[in-house]
Amino acid sequence: MKKKLVFLTGAGISAESGITTFRDSGGLWEQYRVEDVASIEGYYRNPELVTNFYNERRNQLMEVEPNEAHRLVAKLEEKYDVCVVTQNVDDLHERAGSTNIIHLHGELRKITSSRNPNDPSQIETLPEGRSITYPDDRARDGSPARPFIVWFGEPVPMIEAAAEQVGTADILVVIGTSLNVYPAAGLLNYARSDAQIYLIDPSPANVPQYMNIHIIAKKASEGMRQLCDEL
């Protein structure tokens, strides 16, 4: 039986592909107020701004490709039972070949109902090659169609499924996300006491002292190469 390997991934793994991050210097939060583009209040206040913001994100996504780190994560499925729990809304893990992915914060290439955003019957994937939506688009239930993104202040519907995966992991790898940013930080508490835990981060900070975490102080692709050698 293959060992269970769970990845917790964040913006750092996609940054090498050219995806603009939110929190880093020059990131999106310096260009937009979070209240304006990542909250339901902002959406109702100015749907055109929010729609255009996510159109820009999709346009950018269509121009980039998975990087080596994404591909190495996918390749490990040959030897391990791999689950990727990601905070990213891009589809780079899918395009790299990973087959078992939990998106905590939604998916950029999908739209949903503004009335019932987490109803599976309302979630639609945009056709291949389409990146643009419009404020007057309608979901299947007739309500305005919004991005399928978990905005600030909204519940994270996949968090329980993610915690269950973490709790079964023989090996847990945190890559591209800070250990003091939730939900990744909270998910670590579900790890088994005998699980091997790795952190791939070029500038690790605030690593919990009560956990035996093996730190690989490198960027995503270089760190994944080292991880694969060590595994």
Model confidence pLDDT, tens digit, residues 138-188:
999 999 999 999 998 899 999 999 999 999 999 999 998 876 667 667 899
Q: Judge if 1-18+66-105+156-231 and 20-63+110-149 fold alike in CATH terms.
A: no
Closest CA to 7 of 223, 229, 155: 223
Q: Are strands 213-216 and 196-200 parallel, antiparallel or unpaired?
A: parallel
214 is catalytic: no
Q: From the options 3.30.1600.10, 3.40.50.1370, 3.10.450.50, 3.60.150.10, give the CATH code of 20-63+110-149.
A: 3.30.1600.10
Which CATH number is 1-18+66-105+156-231's, of 3.40.50.2300, 3.40.1180.10, 3.20.20.210, 3.40.50.1220?
A: 3.40.50.1220
Active-site option among 70, 93, 105, 214 = 105
Kindly report the pTM of this predicted structure. 0.92
Answer yes or no: are the C-beta atoms of 16 and 219 closer than 8 Å.
yes
In this structure, of 4-13, 20-29, 37-46, 158-167, the range with the lowest mean pLDDT score is 20-29
DSSP structural state of residue 181: S
Domains in the chain: boundaries: 1-18+66-105+156-231, 20-63+110-149
Q: Which residues pair with 17 in a beta bridge?
A: none
User: Which is more confident, 32 or 73?
Assistant: 73
Our CA dihedral for 128, 132, 137, 139, rounded to 10 degrees, sits at 40
